[in-house]
Amino acid sequence: MALIKKPVTGMKDIMPEEMEIRDYAIAVIKKTYAEFGFSSIETPCVENIANLTSKQGGDNEKLIFKILKRGEKLKLETAKSEEDLVDGGLRYDLTVPLVRYYSNHANDLPMPFKALQMGNVWRADRPQKGRYRQFMQCDIDIIGEPTNLAEIELILATTTTLGRLGFKGFQIRINDRRILAAMAAACGFPEDRFGEFFIILDKMDKIGLDGAAKELVESGFTQESTDACISLFKGLDEAGDQLAYLEDKLADVIAPQVIPDLRMVIDSVDGVKEADFAIVFDPTIVRGMGYYTGTIFEIAMPELGISCGGGGRYDAMVGKFTGKDVPACGFSIGFERIILILMEQGFKIPGSREKVAFLLEKNLPANRMQDAMVQAQQARAAGKQVLLARMAKNKKFQKQQLRDRGYESFEEFYTNPISK
């Protein structure tokens, strides 16, 4: 029986043309984030199952690739529950591993700690275009900075990186979980059902106000609370300054500094940004992760109709490991979607070295082989990328394949140079 050639469903092989763009993007990302003071770290791909199922990852906890115990610890015949079989899982994001890492090494790390982490994560999700079961994530996080300086730095570093990768006209949509909670409280929704309200709110850009009102009532919320919610959002639509409008409407149910701090983030980013983008307040941004406690944001590409990353503040997560809360905030680029967009746009790596292919006739004698090697070394020293390959019978087809890979010129080496 022949072995299976195709990769496992939801995972993919990466061809050389894409790998070149991925390597280039990774280099730009790492260089730019280093300029903002972020340090690269790495964590294992496997985490303790208790960490992954700690109710911090929202729906992603339903998508964990779980790992059986090994060797003598795996006792299939006596197992009575999943706990008897499983003790680890593949990480579904980089935030939970980062917080465990920080909790384990806090005494050896600076405060605040600015971390860059890039690596594969795994989710047993339904595969679709731009969504895989194994995919690269690219996160920057600041742990130990309680002020909105963290949000400002994260947004500026991420948008500068996207700009250097050639992206323009995108948006950073920003909100605050505390504003969402205050809106729910002001409308009279019960606190133990805020999460249900947020889920419906998150769909508002797709279903509209009327659709949201219908879902709220169908979910069992009172007509009074639903009407108050719709009235609040109609007022937002009409307000010239949405933050000022909410500051007035929510004054009795929100900490006084929340909205001014959010305004400061928006104004500070707008005043010094390098890339071509807009930062906009969006009261319907929710973010699905259970660990967010404050500011939340997303990268939106309106002309493509997709989101390409996001993040926010998660001040209570370190305390789950250490018993003491530490302020933390992070931003993740949707690396796979960024690469997909670059590939579809025919992205060409700027400043790429000229590619030259040296084609060697079969059975080339040692002296001619050495000539080719010397000339290849000279070309490489001159900054060119040189491929040495045996000459195929169908030389025309061989050259076309090489052209498709970016090789622009060819040198041919024969036993007798005159026969060329």
What is the tens place of the pLDDT at every residue in 297-312?
999 987 777 889 999 9
Distance from C-alpha of 46 to C-alpha of 152, rounded to nearest angstrom: 32
Same domain, 60 and 161: yes
**Boundary (domain end) residue, out of 321, 344, 367:** 344
What are the tokens at 99?
């917080």
Question: Has residue 9 been placed in a domain?
Answer: no
Q: What is the mean pLDDT of the chain?
A: 91
Same domain, 336 and 361: no
Same domain, 263 and 313: yes
What are the tokens at 68?
């059986």
Same domain, 312 and 245: yes
Same domain, 383 and 309: no
**Boundary (domain end) residue, out of 314, 344, 374:** 344
Same domain, 283 and 395: no
Q: Which long-range contacts (CB under 8 A, 24 or more apart) does 379-387 make?
A: 383/353, 383/354, 384/353, 384/354, 384/355, 384/356, 385/353, 385/354, 385/355, 385/356, 386/355, 386/356, 386/357, 386/358, 387/355, 387/356, 387/357, 387/358
Q: In this structure, what CATH number is given to the domain that contains residue 89?
A: 3.30.930.10
Same domain, 115 and 228: yes
Secondary structure (DSSP) of 266-288:
HHHHHHH--SSEEEEE-TT---S
The arithmetic mean of pLDDT across residues 6-34, rounded, is 94
Q: How do residues 77-107 score in pLDDT, each as one tens digit?
A: 777 777 778 899 999 999 999 999 999 999 9
Residue 41 has pLDDT above 60, yes or no: yes
Residue 114 has pLDDT above 70, yes or no: yes
Question: Has residue 405 been placed in a domain?
Answer: yes
Q: How do residues 231-259 score in pLDDT, each as one tens digit?
A: 998 998 898 899 999 999 999 999 999 99
Distance from C-alpha of 131 to C-alpha of 90, rounded to nearest angstrom: 17
- The predicted structure's pLDDT at residue 69: 85
Question: Has residue 294 been placed in a domain?
Answer: yes
Q: In this structure, what CATH number is given to the domain that contains residue 400?
A: 3.40.50
- The predicted structure's pLDDT at residue 330: 96
Domain that holds residue 254: 16-344
Collapsing DSSP states into helix, strand and coil, what is residue 302? Answer: coil
Same domain, 367 and 325: no
Question: Has residue 11 been placed in a domain?
Answer: no
Give the pLDDT band (50/70/90) at residue 56. confident
Distance from C-alpha of 309 to C-alpha of 333, rounded to nearest angstrom: 4
Distance from C-alpha of 316 to C-alpha of 295, rounded to nearest angstrom: 13
Same domain, 302 and 408: no
Question: Has residue 262 been placed in a domain?
Answer: yes
- Is residue 280 classed exposed, middle or buried when 0-12, 13-18 and 19+ CB atoms within 10 A define those classes? middle
- The predicted structure's pLDDT at residue 289: 61
Total tally of structural domains belonging to the chain: 2
**Boundary (domain end) residue, out of 344, 379, 400:** 344
Query: Measuring CA to CA, which residue among 91, 144, 89, 98 is closest to residue 117?
Result: 98
Q: How do residues 355-410 score in pLDDT, each as one tens digit?
A: 999 999 988 999 999 999 999 999 999 999 999 999 999 999 999 999 988 898 99
Same domain, 339 and 382: no
- Is residue 381 classed exposed, middle or buried when 0-12, 13-18 and 19+ CB atoms within 10 A define those classes? exposed
Residues 6 or more apart in contact with residue 368 via CB below 8 angstroms: 360, 413, 414, 415, 417
Same domain, 377 and 334: no
Collapsing DSSP states into helix, strand and coil, what is residue 358? Answer: strand
Question: Has residue 5 been placed in a domain?
Answer: no
Same domain, 152 and 100: yes
What are the tokens at 116?
């860059």
Side chain identity at residue 112, one-letter code: P
Question: Has residue 190 been placed in a domain?
Answer: yes
Q: How do residues 115-137 score in pLDDT, each as one tens digit?
A: 999 999 999 988 887 788 999 99
Q: How do residues 181-218 score in pLDDT, each as one tens digit?
A: 999 999 999 998 888 888 888 888 788 888 988 989 98
Cβ neighbours, 10 Å, residue 98: 23
Residue 155 has pLDDT above 90, yes or no: yes
- The predicted structure's pLDDT at residue 181: 92
Proportion of the chain in helix, strand, coil states, percent, rounded to 5: 45, 20, 35
Report the Cα 105 to chain-centroid distance in Å.
24
What are the tokens at 212?
């949201």
Q: How do residues 318-352 score in pLDDT, each as one tens digit?
A: 999 999 999 999 999 999 999 999 999 999 888 88
Q: Is there a contact between 123 and 168 (Cβ–Cβ < 8 Å)?
A: no
